[in-house]
Amino acid sequence: MKPAFALLLSSILVPIYAATYSISDTVVPSSFLNFFEFQAIADPTMDDNYVDQSTAVSQGLVNQASSTSFIVRADDRTVLNPNGAGRNSVRIRSKKTYTTHVAVFDVHHMPQGCGTWPAIWETNEAQWPNGGEIDIVEGVNDQALMPLHYIRALNSTQLDCNAAVNGNSGCGVRFPTANSYGPSFNSNGGGWYAVERSSSAIRHFSNHNIIINLTFCGDWAGAVYGQSGCPSTCVDFVNNNPSAFSGAYFDFASIRVYQ
């Protein structure tokens, strides 16, 4: 059963009650494909293959499973050529951009498993990193971190969030409980992730798209793979064990944006 709580990350932890918002976009399973566009681009993190919409639909990587369930997943059937492009996966970006807003993600299930690197985040790719980045939820190998890039955040793992001075690691905010991400989150039936971007707090960010993607290994999940207790090396495991990724999927009930 989904726990009745919200996981809230504000851009600098400003409470939502400080401002008044009205619903501007409601994204339910039947409208996901209209709200988002597919980015069939070379993976910036290097270790998977983002496919276009027609390929994603035909391979079952996106699917409206029910009126309350939209699935976004990676291929879990194919043993990969080590010299190939990587495991087929999905990266989708909202057609609209946002400045001041609240976004609430009702998520039944997050991708889990060794080598996985799922993320729900916001940025303007044309202006990245100078336009800022907010990682609403992001994790690797079932461990989560929520980095905020460019400006200062409270209770963070870095004192300076400027991408130019800390290797673009941002200011990470760690989840307070184990069931906020990964297998424990999924076994509880999911939950809510939310972000508020406040016009009174943000000074350096540009307008942002919402981006949802699932990658593997790369320069984060791959770099810390040896510390995760997972078998083999990251790339070898991902290439040779497709069935290990049967749980590597997002299941969204809805996304709601308030402005």
**Tokens found for residue 159:** 């004192």
**H or E element that contains 88:** strand 87-89
Check: CB of residue 74 under 8 Å from CB of residue 248.
Answer: yes
37 is catalytic: no
Separation in Å, CA 94 to CA 22, 35, 211, 235: 19, 6, 6, 30
Q: Active site residue: 37, 122, 138, 196, which one?
A: 138
Query: What b/e sequence results for 215-242 when a residue is b if at least 16 CB atoms lie within 10 Å of its CB, and e otherwise?
Result: bbbbebbbeebeeeebeeebbebbbebb
Q: Active site residue: 122, 125, 133, 196, which one?
A: 133
Check: CB of residue 110 under 8 Å from CB of residue 182.
Answer: yes
196 is catalytic: no
What is the spatial distance between Cα 99 and Cα 116, in angstroms, rounded to a whole number?
29
One-letter amino acid for residue 224 of the chain: V
Q: What are the catalytic residues?
A: 133, 138
